[in-house]
Structure 1
Amino acid sequence: MPRALEHQHHTGFFVRGPSPIARLLFFSVLSLALIVTDARLNYLIEVRQGFIALLHPLQIIANAPLSLVEDVGAYLHTQTTLAEENTRLRHQALMHAEELQRFQALMAENERLRSLLGAAQVSSQPARLAEILHMGRDPFSHKVVVNLGSRQNIVPGQAAIDEHGVIGQVTRVYPFSSEVTLITDKELSIPVQIERNGLRAIAFGQGRNATLELPSLPANVDIQVGDKLVTSGIDGIYPPGLAVAEIIRVEADGDSPFAHIIGKPIAGIDRHRQLLLVSIPQVERPADSSAVKTNSATQKTTPTKRHVRN
């Protein structure tokens, strides 16, 4: 009886499916199709945002140990260190008090000059404090991810700045986070002007060496090493007058009609944890009197045209 049982063939408990090679080929083709569809047609943006929203609690849990360590480190600061820092800050506040008073006087004078010249008044833009969560996943691009998204009314195009100048621009927004492209990225350009002489140009990120380049400027252009680049504000994205970079190299090749101009960012694009997201500027335009004059002129000339036709 036992020998008879040994010769019986039992069917497998699990039904065998396609071979591993067939499965590998199927999922490889499916992955390539999804990648091409997302890159060409942008059909999977909503799906990606949904997954990011679902994974947001896991991201918070993953960052919890780091936040706990930082909180414990801040708690362990001694009273002596805090007292010394407080004394130093009070000394700096006294030193800057005179400069602040002069700055307020200059602002008041500037407002009076704007009113006299009839210049367009640009309202001050609100800003939101954001914290950098992590760097971008692509090692060949200069991007960071911050902890504010569409739920906090962040929109693509907002400028990212710190206390020194422009850091970059919001290029992609998710429900709870946003992607900020730094000004040194190859895909980002920013309208600038030379603070010394007002010359306007376009600065492009080089990617490598974390620098900016001003291409297509003639070899005899009036730009010197040490000149400061600020935002011109003509693009309607960046508020005018924000510091961008400092010229560190100006080279003129005899074989080329254009100069090779390199600038170094002034803002701490790779040193700080927090940044400010500035709202897109809203320009308050005064009533256009020329339109009223045009309408009145049209009304005056209309009878003349009718008389000619008759």
Structure 2
Amino acid sequence: MNLMFSRGPSLQSRLALGLCMSVALILFDHKLNGFGTTRVYLNSLVSPLQYLANLPGEMLNTSASRLVSHERLVTENAKLTHDAVLMSEQLQRLTFLQKENERLRSLLNAPVNNHTERLVAELMAVDNNPYSHQIVINKGAIHGVFEGQPVLDDKGIVGQIQQVSSTNSRVLLIADVTHAIPVRVARNNVRLIVAGSGSLRELFIPHVPHSNELQVGDLLLSSGLGNVFPEGYPVATISSIVRDESRPFAQVLVTPVAQLDRLKYLLVLWPNQQAKDEVLLEDPQ
């Protein structure tokens, strides 16, 4: 079957015609800017597609930036918390040294250890026994912790290390009924013993004579006797004094300075660096 319109220009002719038209359009656009308006419309039509094409990459970049920012904030927060606990301990020590400056002036020539070794620990667990107030911290023998070591928070004395394992330790709080700590009154240097009452918010002072010059609001500092707690750290404030002459002793209640029911970060103290090194040598685990 013969097709009347089956023949047309050859491929070479079509190619030459296309090249000529392309060159003509390029010259027309370059010299006369004939397609400027057309390009604007075409770019407007293509812009949404470009935004959609870039959207996955932008979302990934935004997510990565947020993750990096969150990780940086967590790291900075942990560092600031660590520094705050250390500065709190130094502030407690500075306050004590300022108050004791006049009393110790005669002893200025004696060697004083101002660089107590410290270690920041974190609360791991709280003992569920209602008759015992103990907690577990995340530092143990491999960090040089030993039994009887004093533990503080950012306010004052919390307790002392009772049991030590490789990676954690058990702390006996000053509120425990089996715990007692020697203290002195910051105002007049009267020496007393503060004992645990079983309540996290209340301690008591046993065997206080009626003639004792105690006042509500007096701050009690660790006296350093017994060689367990270093001298000069806040322990409690006197909250109540009942002088009943029918009883042999006055009833004195005190409030612990440390927030025993809100512990999170704690500070473990060594008498000095040499003592810590000796403990590490004795227990290389």
Q: Per the shorter chain, which TM-score range?
A: 0.5 to 0.7
Conservation of the 8 A alpha-carbon contact between 2:117 and 2:272: no
Q: 1:255 and 2:255 equivalent?
A: no
> What's 1:214 paired with?
205
Measure the CA separation in 1 of the matches of 2:267 and 2:245.
43
The alpha carbon displacement at 1:256 in A equals 1.3
Residue 190 to residue 113, structure 1, CA distance change in 2 (3 Å)? closer
Considering Cα pairs closer than 8 Å and 6+ residues apart, tell me whether 1 or 2 has the greater RCO: 2
Q: What is the SS of the residue equivalent to 1:249?
A: strand
Work out the CA distance in 2 between the residues paired with 1:208 and 1:223: 22
SS in 1 for 2:207: coil
- Verify the 8 A CA contact 1:203 1:212 in the aligned structure 2: yes
Native 8 Å contact 1:195 1:228 kept in 2: yes
Match for residue 121 of structure 2?
Answer: 130
Shift in CA distance, 77/225, structure 1 to aligned 2, threshold 3 Å: farther
Q: Shift of residue 111 of structure 1?
A: 10
Deviation string, structure 1 residues 46-78 (Cα, Å, up to 9, x no partner) = xxxxxxxxxxxxxxxxxxxxxxxxxx9x93999
Identical positions, percent: 36
Cα distance in structure 1, aligned partners of 2:183 and 2:139: 27
1:260 CA displacement:
0.4
1:150 corresponds to 2:141: yes
Count of residue pairs the alignment pairs up: 189
**In the alignment, is residue 185 of structure 1 matched against residue 185 of structure 2?**
no
1:173 corresponding residue in structure 2: 164
Measure the CA separation in 1 of the matches of 2:224 and 2:103.
21
Question: Which has the greater radius of gyration?
Answer: 2
The question of 1:223 aligning with 2:214 is answered yes
Structure 1 alignment gaps of length 5 or more: 1-71, 87-99, 284-310
Within a 5 Å distance, the mapping from 1:28-177 to structure 2 comes to 75=70, 110=101, 114=105, 118-119=109-110, 121-177=112-168
Aligned CA distance change for structure 1 residues 209 and 123 (closer, same or farther; 3 Å) = closer
Cα distance between partner residues in 2 of 1:282 and 1:198 = 29
Q: TM-score w.r.t. structure 2 length?
A: 0.59
Give yes or no for contact 1:158–1:237 (8 Å, CA) kept in 2: yes
| Number of the residue aligned with 2:227 | 236
1:235-290 deviation per Cα after TM superposition (whole angstroms, max 9, x unaligned): 2111111000010000011211211001000112121311001114699xxxxxxx
Shift in CA distance, 130/119, structure 1 to aligned 2, threshold 3 Å:
same
Residue identity in the other structure for 1:176: T
Q: Which has the higher helix share?
A: 1
The answer (yes or no) to whether the contact 2:200–2:260 under 8 Å persists in 1 is no
Superposed CA RMSD: 3.4
Is the Cα–Cα contact under 8 Å of residues 194 and 206 in structure 2 kept in the other structure?
Answer: yes
**Counterpart-to-counterpart distance in 1, 2:223 and 2:187:** 13
Contact 1:123 1:281 in 2 (8 A): no
Cα 1:198–1:186 shift into 2, 3 Å: same
Amino acid at match of 2:150: A
Contact 2:117–2:273 at 8 Å: present in 1 too?
no
- Residue 221 of structure 1 aligns to a residue in which SS? coil
Q: Higher mean Cα deviation, 192-201 or 232-241? A: 232-241
Instruction: Output the CA distance in 2 between the equivalents of 1:262 and 1:113.
Output: 30
d(CA) in 2 for partners of 1:282 and 1:111?
28
Distance 1:265 1:259, change over 3 A: same
TM-score (norm 1): 0.54
Per the alignment, residue 187 of structure 2 pairs with 196
- 1:14-33 equivalences under 5 Å are none
1:281–1:248 distance in 2 versus 1, CA, 3 Å? farther
* 1:162 positional shift: 1.5
Q: 1:112 to 1:243 in 2, by over 3 A?
A: closer
